[in-house]
Structure 1
Amino acid sequence: MQTNDGMLMSIPIQAPYGTWKSPISADHIVKGSKPIAELLVDPITNKIYHVESRPAEDGRNALVETETSRDLTGTQWNVRTGVHEYGGGAVTVYGGIAYFSHYGDGRVYSVDVNPGGIPEAVTPDSNSLHRFADFSVYPSNPQLMVAIMEDHTNDPTGETPSQVVNTLCVIDAAAKSVSPLVSGADFYSSARFSPDGTRLVWLQWFHPDMPWEGSELMHADVTVVDGKVSLTHIVSIAGVPSKISVAFPSWVDNDTLLFTSDESGYQNLYKFTGGQVTPVLLEPITQDFSQPAWTLGWSPYAPIDETGEHILCTAWKDGRTVIYLVNILSRAPPQLVESSFVAIDTIRTVSARSRQAVFSSPKVDGDNAIILCTLPPSLDPTGAEFTQQLPLLKGHHSNALIHVVYYPPNNPAYSGSSIPDESPPCVVNVHGGPTALESQALNWKKQYFTSRGWAWLDVNYGGSSGYGREYIQRLAGKWGIVDTEDSINAVDILSKEPYNNYLDANRSAIRGGSAGGYTTLATLSISSNAAAFAAGASSYGISRLGRPRQVHA
């Protein structure tokens, strides 16, 4: 068949679902995209950097200068940390010097970002017993920084994690020393100096709380004498253990601190100024303006003008990320910034003078990309420009048809099944966390299956983030119950009217990793219907395998 311009066009064919031939191979899953693990901006030079995950290089993380795509470290370096096990916050760049945690030995290294820079250790060798993350540089002396130190001295084999000690420490890059600063809580994160260095805030929480269940935002005055950092007037300014979660503190100026709190039931924006905490918006919004803080180094908002009056922020709405422009002084409703990006973990200011921010996000049909957002001088959100998008392979991507979860079979070479009334087999995917969220971002693993005639179903079960504190709390005390039943019910609903052609319940397989792996195992063994799925695959699922018991009659 020919088109009007004379080009040959193949005619879509029909074949049983699950048997379609696809150009998307396993190599696309491993090499088709380069996940952006972290995104950061040097506040002095305004240059953008990112940490890029390299599955083909034994899974190492590389620090990259974004504009030139130049690696700042050689292949022997892994810019990654194991703090809190989930990691994140492995690097900061300040005034052309990068400080990063090397996963190989846990030490912190400094490297000049200019070509030829050689990493140099700035913390002592601890035989891999000390881990560092989430660095905050002291503005008046950039060789001083506060970081989380996770001490495994009493747990060298990893068999007694209750003996691991977390503190906030001061790293002196000049003296190559580490000294304690704050201790007593079970966990710390997000230590941030005010721009003038006179104040420090941080988050802390205690076992058994996770940070999204209850945490405290602490505030202290800072004094530095002869390179020694000390704190006075330490107070809690927001958050309540086990009741209110606060997250992602960041200074807009020397007197204004932003953060998120779920005091209203959803993670909304708050500010601390003049010694008082107030909501940024006049009325709470039933949207989460941040994800649970289970990975270090994220940032859900960025100041976007020189006065600090306006910020760009992200929120989760209908299972995808939206971008808002918010006036933090007027308390007016947020203004939507139209975009096609669906999953933004981190957004950072590049230049307030130029009204620019940067974030990492894929589209529904595009790989992960570094996106530069520029607002016009009027700060009219309808004039926002997005640039620096990465290329993508077109033509074989499924689009989500219902709330985040369902991807139909899709391949331009096929028009459906050759078997009358056949419904497609389905992969049911359960995310980890368990308080994570499966977004609508392009994922080559999903396209591998959908391009072969499979359906793919992402289940954001009760406990997933993005839907408010109450939805997360559905899982509290019911892990292995709510998640398994939601997975079973999702398949049951989409295999019946009015969705009866979406998937074949008898040919559905469940899969998941970590917490999702546990849900997979629980669904196949202890759920209300262990036969709900024809097969299952658990990747590093939480479990305890036991030997079969021998019974003598």
Structure 2
Amino acid sequence: MVAAHDGRPEYLGAVGEELWWTAPRPAEAGRRALLRLRPGAQEPESVLPPPWNVRSRVLEYGGLPWAGIARDAGGPLVVFVDFADQRLYAVEPDAPGGPRPRPLTPDAGGPDRLRWCDPVIRAEAGEVWCVLEEFGAGHPADPEDVRRLPVAVPLDGGAAGDRAAVRALDGPRHRFVTGPRPSPDGRRAVWLAWDHPRMPWDGTEVEIAEVAPGPEPVFTNVRTLAGGPDESVAQAEWAPDGSLLVATDRTGWWNVHRLDPGTGHAVNLCPRPEEFADALWRVGSRWFAPLDDGTIAVTHGRGSARLGVLDPATGHLADAPGPWTEWQPCLAVRGTRVTGIAAGPDRGHEIVRLDTATGHCHAVAAHYRDPAGAAFHAPPRRRVFEGPGGREVHALIHAPHHPEVTGPEGAAPPFVIWAHGGPTSRWSEALDLEVSFFTSRGIGVARVDYGGSTGYGRAYRDRLRERWGVVDVEDCAAVARALAAEGGADPAALAIRGGSAGGWTAAASLADPATSGLYACAAISYPVLDLAAWGPGTTHDFESRYPETLIGPRDAVGDRYRERSPVHRAHGITAPFLLLQGLDDPICPPAQAEALVAAVAGRDVPHTYLTFPGEGHGFRRADTVRTALEAELALYLATFPGTAARAQDQGRRATGPAAHPNGADAGAG
């Protein structure tokens, strides 16, 4: 069930009265399908057949991969990025003979030269504004040789065979940019920019320009309007009345401000100790959206993202009714309607619409249909634990639960600590079948928002500055120890798991002397493990200087990069572990995982190393997801005291490879 339902709808938008979005297809090699819901239709239709895969690789994590406009005749016009070659295409789905995508950008011979994202169709000018990510001839040998620009691509296909037909709207002033957004009168454009070593949640600039009129509009008088090294602006958006709105953390929280386009003077429209935005991992994320009546649809909360409607004149904020507590940053507005992708503790992601005139909120598409049944899920309890020095540590706790089976009387259950990736990210309250996979088998799950997580203000986020591998490890351990001390978890059956940056935390927790013996085992997926060999030239450009915030300036504290890395502390690892790695991962390449395998070679440390050809950073194919979960369950059954016998007695089904002592590579894939 987990494998078949892996992924969620993404990148929702309105095209006239229609709703469009991308949807996962795990059984179709993990592609992203482009779906369309016509007015009055009960079910969406897929616009493009396999193998079309609507997904951008800009910054490797991708960004908004499509845009569309309604037309008076001929149906909508849509542009999209195809994952295989990263070219930008145009398609007219209602054209006679059906959709026939035509390329708008050059064939660069593969996805490692030219990439595009965050498009806006400018029909009056016959072009698409978007972000171009262009690598030099040395890529992928030199991922540092890159520039990113706001550009205009002609809609007539003139650039499909001529790179020179792509017009730069501004020069390479900054290393990173979002797509430019035109003002309602078309006279101005605004976008975000930042530079190494900052990440966008550290500091960004709001860039504004005049748009010179003509058949080929150009940007003039480009200037920085707001932001800076210590102010993160996560979104900039024009309201219908021409005012400029931004989500900035200048108060310590990402709040929505009105920004004067001339002076940069900012007014906080709803001063609250809550987040109205989150980390900008994907270009084109939209946490708020202005409506025609002057109100603003916003996502907001502490540790969650509810939908509300903000009246900027009074600061009044009214939340949408219903069970949806997590809204994705892709709000689409049309008249009085706000539509988004939302989920809750008792339901997965679905397309939900709020009518601000009536207050009615309901699911309109991608309706979540629970494949297991509510009785098999363990709703989360939001808790705050005490970390070192009395600091708060937030977590979502899922106790083991099954409608027909209970654990042995008086026995505390096993528990697995989940460390999220990022690390500048957080856990969602949305129902997760992967959690239920374990809780329904008697294994508790604690999803920890350790210091450095988003959702709790800038000060909480900044706890990880130069303390990665310390604060995250301590906070996860604080939750594990507290659960055991309360009698809610078996102290002999604690584990830790994580992917990407969470894999770093899991591995560091095994290697750290302060947490030695706390965890019986660990499940580590596509991890960062050796910072000395992970940085400029060895990973993707977006995160290549990330450690300068998380660890410190490399030239000043270079020894710290080695001292914190699990690979160089592997002598402290004695607990069994499972290591899962995609062989096509450009973010955390297989060399990271292979270094850990080599570091424990010849030692009596039971471990399994599974590799997956064709998988990148995060697993998308159904067979990969299933193999990974079965291997993780097998690790716990082999490691937790009495778990295997208990599972057998209860008639539970648990299949998959057993842990391979001393590092046999099962070669999955």
Match of 1:180 among 165, 168, 192: 168
The alpha-carbon distance between structure 1 residues 103 and 33, as it changes in their structure 2 partners (threshold 3 A), is closer
Q: Does 1:78 align with 2:47?
A: no
Deviations 1:321-345 (A, max 9, x none): 22222112x1424233333212212
Contact 1:430-1:460 within 8 A present in 2 as well:
yes
Cα distance 1:529–1:386, how it changes in 2: closer, same or farther (>3 A)?
same
Q: Does residue 400 of the first structure (1) align with residue 380 of the second (2)?
A: yes
> 3-state DSSP class of the match of 2:417?
strand
2:225/2:261 contact within 8 Å kept: no
Does residue 208 of structure 2 align to residue 219 of structure 1?
yes
Aligned counterparts of 2:210 and 2:144: Cα–Cα separation in 1: 31
TM-aligned CA distance change 1:266 to 1:55, over 3 Å: same
User: What amino acid is the match of 1:417?
Assistant: G
SS at match of 1:405: strand
State how far apart, in whole Å, the 2-side matches of 1:113 and 1:207 are.
41
More helix by share: 2
Answering whether residue 136 of structure 2 is matched by residue 153 of structure 1, we say: yes
The structure 1 residue matched to 2:341, chosen from 346, 356, 360, is 360
Q: Using a 3 Å threshold, how does the CA distance of structure 1 residues 155 and 268 change in structure 2: closer, same or farther?
A: farther
Aligned in 2, Cα 1:147/1:452: closer, same or farther, shift over 3 Å? same
CA shift for structure 1 position 479: 1.0
Q: Deviations over 1:205-259 (max 9, x none)?
A: 0100000101000110102423x23111212111012x10112111112521211
Q: Partners in 1 of 2:260 and 2:286 — Cα distance?
A: 20
What are the superposed Cα offsets for residues 473-503 of structure 1, whole Å, 9 maximum, x if unpaired? 111111111111111111011111xx32x22
Q: Does 1:373 align with 2:358?
A: no
| Aligned AA (1:442) | L
Number of the residue aligned with 1:193: 182
Give the alignment partner of residue 32 of structure 2, picking from 44, 61, 74: 61
- CA–CA distance in structure 1, aligned partners of residues 180 and 45 of structure 2: 29
Q: 2:255 matched to which residue of 1?
A: 268
1:261-289, Cα deviation, whole Å (9 max, x unpaired):
00000000011246344555466211110
Structure 2's unaligned 5+ residue stretches are 71-75, 160-164, 384-394, 531-594, 603-669
* Alignment deviations for residues 161-202 of structure 1 (CA, whole Å, 9 cap, x no partner): 222221221111212331222212110014211123211101
User: Once structures 1 and 2 are overlaid, which stretch shifts more, 116-125 or 63-72?
Assistant: 63-72
Change (3 A) 1:427 1:66: farther
| Count of matched residue pairs | 502
Contact 1:281 1:331 in 2 (8 A): no
Q: Equivalent residues in 2 for 1:274-353 (5 A)?
A: 275-277=262-264, 279=266, 281=268, 284-304=271-291, 306-307=292-293, 309-317=294-302, 319-328=303-312, 330-352=313-335
Contact in 2 for aligned 1:151/1:165 (Cα 8 Å) = yes
> Given the alignment, which residue of 532, 542, 551 partners 2:518?
532
Worse-superposed segment, 81-90 or 208-217? 81-90
Q: Distance in 1 between matches of 2:599 and 2:447?
A: 34
1:130 maps to 2:118: no
Query: How far has the Cα of 1:53 moved from its partner?
Result: 1.6
Q: How does 1:5-44 map to 2 (within 5 A)?
A: 28-32=1-5, 35-42=8-15
Counterpart contact for 1:255–1:274, Cα < 8 Å = no
| Alpha-carbon separation, structure 2, partners of 1:199 and 1:47 | 28
In 1, the alpha carbon distance for the partners of 2:404 and 2:509 equals 35
- Which of 78, 85, 91 aligns to 1:105? It is 85
Farther off after superposition, 121-130 or 266-275: 266-275
The whole-number CA distance in structure 2 between the counterparts of 1:134 and 1:527 is: 45
Range moving further from structure 2, 144-153 or 269-278: 269-278
Secondary structure in structure 1 of the residue aligned to 2:279: coil
Output the amino acid matched with 2:511.
S
Report the CA distance between 1:412 and its aligned residue: 1.1
TM-score for both structures, normalised by structure 1:
0.87
Structure 2 distance, partners of 1:193, 1:471, is 34
* Secondary structure of 1:509 counterpart: strand
Whole-Å separation in 2 of the counterparts to 1:333 and 1:375: 14
Is the contact between residue 6 and residue 24 of structure 2 (CA under 8 Å) also seen in structure 1?
Answer: no
Equivalent residue for 2:539?
A: none
How far apart, CA to CA, are the structure 2 residues paired with 1:417 and 1:303? 51
The answer to whether residue 476 in structure 2 is matched with residue 487 in structure 1 is: yes
Residue by residue over 1:23-76, the C-alpha shift from the partner in whole angstroms, topping out at 9 and shown as x without a partner, is xxxxx111135511321112xx13111101212211111111135421111101
Does structure 1 retain, via aligned residues, the 8 Å contact 2:350–2:363?
A: no
Percent of aligned positions with the same letter in both sequences? 28
List aligned pairs for 1:242-257, cutoff 5 A: 243-253=230-240, 255-257=242-244
Distance 2:29 2:6 in 1: 15
The verdict on how the C-alpha distance between 1:287 and 1:376 changes in structure 2, with shifts beyond 3 A counting, is: same
What's the secondary structure of 1:402's corresponding residue?
Answer: strand
Corresponding residue SS for 2:54: coil
Residue in 2 that maps onto 1:5: none
Correspondence for 1:229:
217
Contact 2:299–2:305 under 8 Å retained in 1: yes
* Residue in 2 that maps onto 1:88: 63
Amino acid at match of 1:52: A
Distance 1:191 1:550 in 2: 51
The structure-2 alpha-carbon separation of the partners of 1:218 and 1:139, relative to structure 1 and needing over 3 Å to count, comes to farther
Going from structure 1 to structure 2, the CA distance change for 1:258 and 1:550 (only over 3 Å counts) comes to closer
SS of 1:493's equivalent in the other structure is: helix
2:410 aligned with 1:410: no
More strand by share: 1
Amino acid at match of 1:66: L
- RMSD across aligned C-alpha pairs, in angstroms? 2.1
Aligned counterparts of 1:111 and 1:332: Cα–Cα separation in 2: 42
For the pair 1:447 / 2:436, whether they are aligned, the reply is yes
- Counterpart-to-counterpart distance in 2, 1:475 and 1:512: 17
The verdict on how the C-alpha distance between 1:387 and 1:338 changes in structure 2, with shifts beyond 3 A counting, is same
In 1, the alpha carbon distance for the partners of 2:288 and 2:270 equals 19
User: Whose RCO is larger (CA < 8 A, sep 6+)?
Assistant: 1
Match of 2:99 in 1: 117
User: Is residue 238 from structure 1 mapped to residue 230 from structure 2 by the alignment?
Assistant: no
Contact 2:427–2:447 (CA<8 Å) still a contact in 1? yes
Q: 1:422 aligns with which of 411, 423, 426?
A: 411
Give the distance between the partners of 1:109 and 1:81, measured in 2 at CA. Answer: 12
Distance 1:98 1:427 in 2: 44
CA distance in 1, matches of 2:356, 2:279: 28
Counterpart Cα distance in 2 of 1:274 and 1:37: 31
Q: Aligned with 2:271: secondary structure?
A: coil
Residue 518 of structure 1 aligns to a residue whose secondary structure is helix
Residue in 1 aligned with 2:543? none
Q: Is the 8 A contact 1:97 1:111 kept in 2?
A: yes
Which residue of structure 1 aligns with residue 544 of structure 2?
Answer: none
Aligned in 2, Cα 1:293/1:274: closer, same or farther, shift over 3 Å? Answer: closer
Q: 1:428–1:510: 8 Å Cα contact kept in structure 2? A: yes
Which residue number in structure 2 is paired with residue 506 of structure 1? 492
